[in-house]
Amino acid sequence: MLAQSGSLDSMSRTANPKASEAARELYRRLIELSGIRILSGQHNYPGSLSAHSEETARLAGAEPAVWGQDFGFSADDQDGIQFRDAIVAEAIRQHLRGTLVTLMWHAVPPTMDEPVTFKEGVQTKLTDAEWTELTTPGSRLHRRWEDQVDVVARLLVRLRDEGVPVVWRPYHESNGAWFWWGGRPGPDGSARLYRMLFDKLTHDYGLDNLLWVYNPNAPRPGVRPYAEMYPGGDVVDALATDIYGGTFPDEFHDDLLSLADGRPIAIGEVGQLPTPDVLERQTRFVWFMLWAGMETKWNTPEGLRAIFHHPRTMNHEEWARG
């Protein structure tokens, strides 16, 4: 097991110095899990609200501690904008039950208006000229991006006003090139867009309920190293990696831990769950989140139970007790 950098006190400082008491308490709890326990989690498509969490709980015999949702896309390539109000209501309900709420946003590019399809929206590309315009304050594309952010910010404000801390993972998998925001290294690339969003949500909207997660994809051919898109420790509270394919080399864990410099790390998304021996070897991950639909597609009830009932795993009942 690798040593953790920094003391608990020094590393419990949030990227937003004005983070709410609830966000700070959540962050403290996540830090304390590192090297000891891992939270179980389940993502849900917008239209399903919590159906995937409920199915996983049925199959595994234990409810996931982490509930995930998306302000962007639902299943079958469909934009999920019509579900956003329901997602906010469900996030509040889950928080009141003691669930950890994590949200993401499959944003459409500022060259388009919603609704669009996933393949012809999120998975399209911006030209270099369009990217430069997007990241130039005052430009037409920058203003369009701000308008899109405003829509999501107002949803997050409602959660803030209800006292809901959110583990927020924007612009995930940016070290790959399959989303319009990804595949651009350097300070003016994908990292700049993350920093723009941090600045707008933190300073313009006062969203003190967010814990910010830098969430690259696990390394593979064609995917850049974690560090190449890192936006900087001043705007990151935790780091996560998305792992699909069913293999869990130690470098997926160790390289993320090294970059985190004492911050918590997690498996932001996973298709096939790790085996018990992976949990016992890669001990610094503090949560995992099974992707929607994968509870039955790439996993068996026996495999789910083996992980959800592993001594290192903390499920909803235990987490909600505080």
Question: What is the structure's pLDDT at 11?
Answer: 62
In a domain, 214, yes or no: yes
Question: What is the structure's pLDDT at 6?
Answer: 44
CB-based contact 259:228 (threshold 8 Å): no
pTM: 0.96
pLDDT at residue 9 greater than cutoff 70 = no
pLDDT at residue 5 greater than cutoff 70 = no
Mean pLDDT of 138-142: 99
Question: What is the structure's pLDDT at 3?
Answer: 37
C-alpha distances in angstroms, 67 versus 138, 192, 231, 264, 308?
37, 28, 26, 18, 15
pLDDT band at 77 (very low <50, low <70, confident <90, very high): confident
φ, ψ (nearest 5 deg) of residue 219: -60, 145
Residue 284's nearest CA partner among 272, 309, 267 is 267
pLDDT band at 73 (very low <50, low <70, confident <90, very high): confident
Question: What is the structure's pLDDT at 270?
Answer: 99
In a domain, 1, yes or no: no
Distance, CA of 253 to CA of 218 (rounded, Å): 9
Q: DSSP per residue over 129-178, as a string?
A: HHHHHHTSTTSHHHHHHHHHHHHHHHHHHHHHHTT--EEE--STTTTSSS
pLDDT at residue 241 greater than cutoff 80 = yes
Pairing verdict, β 66-70 and 41-43: parallel
pLDDT band at 78 (very low <50, low <70, confident <90, very high): confident
β-bridge mates for residue 102, sequence order: 68, 167
Distance, CA of 307 to CA of 40 (rounded, Å): 9
Give 180-237 pLDDT, tens digit per residue: 999 999 999 999 999 999 999 999 999 999 999 999 999 999 999 999 999 999 999 9
Q: Please name the residue that has the structure tokens 């590192």.
A: 34
Cα-based torsion angle of the residue sequence 236, 132, 115, 152 in order, rounded to the nearest 10 degrees: 30
Mean pLDDT of 249-267: 98
In a domain, 106, yes or no: yes
Cα 178 off chain centre by: 17
Buried b (16+ CB within 10 A) or exposed e, 243-278: beeeebeeebbebbbebbebbbbbbbbbbbbbebeb
In a domain, 11, yes or no: no
Give 97-113 pLDDT, tens digit per residue: 999 999 999 999 999 99
pLDDT at residue 45 greater than cutoff 90 = yes
pLDDT band at 8 (very low <50, low <70, confident <90, very high): very low
Q: How many domains is the chain built from?
A: 1
In a domain, 21, yes or no: no
In a domain, 20, yes or no: no
In a domain, 150, yes or no: yes
Question: What is the structure's pLDDT at 60?
Answer: 99
What is the domain range of residue 270? 27-320
Give 15-44 pLDDT, tens digit per residue: 999 999 999 999 999 999 999 999 999 999
Two tokens, residue 142: 């920058």
H or E segment and range at residue 202:
none
3-state percent helix, strand, coil for the chain, nearest multiple of 5: 40, 15, 45
Domain of residue 176, CATH code: 3.20.20.80
Give 262-321 pLDDT, tens digit per residue: 999 999 999 999 999 999 999 999 999 999 999 999 999 999 999 999 999 999 999 999
Residue 141: Cβ within 10 Å count = 19
Distance, CA of 131 to CA of 70 (rounded, Å): 24
In a domain, 15, yes or no: no
Q: What is the torsional sign of CA 308, 59, 94, 157?
A: positive
